[in-house]
Amino acid sequence: MSRITAPFAGVITKRYADTGAMIQAGTASQTQTMPVARLSEDQLLRLVLPVPESVVPRIHVGEPVTVNVHSLNRGYEGRVARFSGKIDLATRTMETEIDVPNRGFVLKPGMYAEAALTLDRRADALAVPVQALSVNGQSTAVFLVTLESKIEERPVTLGIETPNKVEILSGIKENDLVVVGSRSQLKAGQRVEPKVVDPAFFSGAE
């Protein structure tokens, strides 16, 4: 009778032999031996994703990453574990690996996920919801409500962007009132009665 010990703690995902079956011992000279079971270490999963060439210089080991798994409707916190350091000439991307702790073994290998990497940070940045922007060709503007409660179209210069917010580098200042949402019925000089809303309504959890 022999005792088989796994090299690491994990979960058996596939069994190749039944209890009590005779198993031939493998030797170093054999090229193919019969496995007894497949063992998976699922406490820490690794997400592999392609990163565009343009942002490669801003990827660093240890950086936090938000991982969203749509099939579970949940988000997880991971960290950049390693990256190849070489650009794929066909796709112009770099393969990057994210370690994601799998508490409770809810995540399963092979699941699809989206990862959000923090590429830049700005302290005290002035930002507006993306719904406040009016894009016309190469120029971008916002509709501002003046102290006289009149609409003014103001050109702005954009900075870094997230899915919900855009940094404004110039054109408006803190505490200015900007119009968010449909502007089809508005025009410069029009008098309005502004209704102030919480920006979080437009930016979700950001």
Q: Which residue ranges make up each domain of the chain?
A: 44-117, 127-199
Quick one: CATH architecture of 44-117? Answer: Beta Barrel (2.40)
Q: What is the pLDDT of residues 32-90, one digit of tens each?
A: 667 888 888 888 899 999 998 888 888 889 999 999 999 999 999 999 999 888 898 89
pTM to 2 decimal places: 0.54
Query: Which segments in the chain show pLDDT lower than 50?
Result: 205-206
Q: Which amino acid is at 187?
A: K
Task: Report the number of secondary-structure helices (H) and strands (E) in the chain.
Answer: 1, 14
Q: How far apart are CA 142 and CA 192, in angstroms?
A: 15
* Domain 127-199: top CATH class: mainly beta
Q: What is the DSSP string of 52-104?
A: EGGGGGG--TT-EEEEEETTTTEEEEEEEEEE--S-BTTTTEEEEEEEEE-GG
Q: Which residues contact 92 (CB under 8 A, 6 or more apart)?
A: 52, 53
The token pair at 102 is 């799998």
Q: What is the pLDDT of residues 59-70, one digit of tens each?
A: 889 999 999 999
